[in-house]
Amino acid sequence: MKRSILIIILLSFVTSLYSQDKMKVSKWRKTERDSMENAQHLFDEGNYVMALPMYDALLHNHPKELYLKYVTGLCGLYRSDKHDDALRLLSEVYEKNKKTAEIELDLAKANHLNYKFDEALALLELYKKKVKKIEAKKQEQIDLLLHYCDIGKKLVAHPLPAKLTNIGGPINTEASEYVPVISSDESVMIYTYRGKKSIGGLQNVYNQPDPYGFYYEDVYISYRDSTDNFSEPKDIGPTINSSSNDAAVALSSDGQKLFIYKDDGTNGGDLYLSLLSGRDWSIPERLIGDVNSPSWEGSCSLSADGKTLYFSSERKGGFGGKDIYKSILQADGSWGSAINMGEKINTAYDEDGPFIHPDGRILVYSSKGKSSMGGYDIFRTVYNPADSAWTIPENMGYPINSPDDDIYYVLTASGEYGYYSSGKDGGSGLQDIYRVYPGLVGLSPYLALLKGTITLDNVPVEGKVSIDIEGRTENYTFLNSNVATGKYLVNLPGGSKYNVTFKYEGQQDQVRTIDLTTIKAYEERIVDINFSTTKADTIKDVAVKSNAIKDLKADPSKLPDVNENDLNQNKNKTGNETTTGLIFKVQIAAYTMPENYDYSKIKHLGKVDKNVIDGIARFTIGGEFNSLNEANTHCAKVRAAGQSDAFVTAIYNGKRVYLEELEKQGIIPVQPK
């Protein structure tokens, strides 16, 4: 009964369009009628991309049916690799029946997408003459398309010297690869894949197997190898990928933080964060604070210092559609109030895909505004610290931009290369990833990419890197090296002098000064740090004492709490001593997103306290201890209960200090390493 009604409605619709052409659907095979019903349902719901292959198959079997040509052509407008087919099919319909409703407007869209701007403009004029009364919403679409054509003509007439290269295999396949995100040194690429390898295979909207369904998104990762090519990509792992849609949207410049977009069906979609530990990614955790809202939040980019997140949102109160916002990291690890980037960047149309360059002054994003040549175009704007404002955004030009959507553009730290995805002709599949050279035409970032490896006796370790800007009290940033490889990476914008402190528990800090006050171009600096335990503790202790006494005699202000007697008495200390102003605590965890930390297995060992320092929530258990031995005893109990990475930390005169600093000053005995 349902199919009969559909056929009647469909034939009536077709008859109204074509007085001489009626589809003889009743003579089709049952499977074809079923396919037609499914395709029509998807078309009516606006799912043109999903309906296209069904219509395409039916048109192959019934090549003379004008209605099939018409709907197949319309669906082809929404797939970048089918724009030429859409123009051909809609042109054939127009030649057969110029009375077809909306055909001039549809054909104008097809010509625009195929760079035939003059033809599109002529068809729009015909349409306006044909339709005497055009509703306001449609008139707005026509006016925007007219602007797109005018901008397109200008940009194509003056192409920029940018070369686009399809990166090819093994990343690009016959499936879809899109939204590439990279570490700033290009050593890692993470992207979203949709195709035959997708977990769950073909599924319907309820995540059930369905031969007429579609593939869901998965996240893949690839590494640049010694030949300067990307390695065979791999599924990023079960902590991130599932049988539902899982999409990567941003990667921190050091490659350690991955932002994920998820939609659990309870809101418009939110942003999540996964952290890299060794070679494994953690289960993504929803960002806390004002970034996520009941509305859609779908893309973001993190500043090099990790303190500012730029993101797109559909929340109310913007300039229209999706807007670009920013949020500042708070001391408790949450994200502060969402701040709209203003009308210079946001328009009445959609803005999406922000990317903040590691130098902190170049923002790249996409907009559907009137300065676009069609759909999303990629724009750039530069922050001017002199007036604390962003410059008027510039269209990145042709051939980077096209009449279709161009979005999710990312840059290397040098600005030499850009990456984004497109469905351009000649690609491997539906969507491919392209590399752009130069990534920024006529604009050069100036910063230093500082990277290296932290080791202990030449074995990679998870060291700590703390960076301060000379003359400022606030810490610029801090990070850890990768626990498996020992590698670290950080971007330092030009114009300042940086003091970089490398730490590893039980070892003397190593400090390097990076002077970038006069830098005017991109630089790469490699600093490898090797902590050493080759000398016996007694020898090391003597060296520490000798250096401390030498520094004290040279400049007593350097070590105000140290005296030679203390150092000489160090060897006689037992750990039971108490010192005024000194307390010890047992630390059990440190998180930037502390709300999910579960300490239930050890809570019987005392009260758990949380203290936020430098944006990190540090958890301690058991309160305060006046002597080191008391703290060590409690720490042993905590470790035995299952918190194997617990350790003792100290607070001296209200400041958090490392135990080795107390050792150097003779306040506590040298601890066994």
pLDDT band at 634 (very low <50, low <70, confident <90, very high): very high
Mean pLDDT of 250-255: 94
Residue 14 pLDDT > 70: no
Can you list the pairs that 39-43 forms with residues at least 24 positions away whose Cβ atoms lie under 8 Å?
Answer: 39/71, 40/6, 40/10, 43/71, 43/74, 43/75
> Tokens standing for 635?
């720490």
Residue 543 pLDDT > 70: no
Which residue do the tokens 């034939």 mark?
Answer: 11
Which residue do the tokens 């410059």 mark?
Answer: 391
- 195-204, 262-271, 488-497: segment of lowest average pLDDT: 262-271
Residue 251 pLDDT > 90: yes
| pLDDT in the model for residue 159 | 97
What pLDDT digit, counting tens, does each position of 205-230 carry? Answer: 778 888 877 889 999 999 988 778 89
Q: Is the dihedral of CA 135, 140, 143, 149 positive or negative?
A: negative
Fold: same for 2-157 and 537-664? no
Mean pLDDT of 298-324: 96
> Tokens standing for 284?
């993504």
CATH of domain 2-157: 1.25.40.10
Question: Rounded distance, CA 124 to CA 97, Å?
Answer: 17
| pLDDT in the model for residue 213 | 78
Residue 669 pLDDT > 60: yes
| pLDDT in the model for residue 593 | 56
What pLDDT digit, counting tens, does each position of 355-382 carry? Answer: 999 999 999 999 999 899 999 999 999 9
| Nearest in space to 601 (alpha carbons), one of 634, 637, 635, 643 | 643
CATH topology of domain 163-437: Neuraminidase (2.120.10)
- 176-180, 543-547, 607-611: segment of lowest average pLDDT: 543-547
Cβ(481)–Cβ(465) below 8 Å: yes
What pLDDT digit, counting tens, does each position of 391-443 carry? Answer: 999 999 999 999 999 999 999 999 999 999 887 777 777 789 999 999 999 99
Question: Rounded distance, CA 19 to CA 102, Å?
Answer: 16
Percent of the chain with pLDDT over 70: 89
Residues contacting residue 219 through CB under 8 Å, at least 6 positions apart = 190, 191, 192, 193, 235, 236, 240, 241, 246, 247, 248, 260
Cβ density class 387-400: b for 16+ within 10 Å, e for less: eeebeebebbbbbb
Q: Helix, strand, or coil here: 522?
A: coil
Question: Rounded distance, CA 51 to CA 42, Å?
Answer: 6
Higher pLDDT, 498 or 566: 498
Mean pLDDT of the chain: 87
What pLDDT digit, counting tens, does each position of 138-167 carry? Answer: 999 999 999 999 999 999 999 999 999 999
Cβ(485)–Cβ(453) below 8 Å: yes
The domain locations on the chain are: 2-157, 163-437, 447-531, 537-664
Higher pLDDT, 135 or 10: 135
Question: Rounded distance, CA 457 to CA 524, Å?
Answer: 25
What pLDDT digit, counting tens, does each position of 432-456 carry? Answer: 999 999 999 999 899 999 999 999 9
Higher pLDDT, 648 or 272: 272
Mean pLDDT of 546-556: 36
Angle value at C-alpha 210, between 204 and 215, nearest 5 degrees: 60
- 461-475, 478-492, 535-549: segment of lowest average pLDDT: 535-549
Neighbours of 385 (CB within 10 A): 9
Cβ(252)–Cβ(260) below 8 Å: no
- CATH architecture assignment, domain 537-664: 2-Layer Sandwich (3.30)
Q: Name the CATH superfamily, with its identifier, for domain 447-531.
A: Immunoglobulins (2.60.40.10)
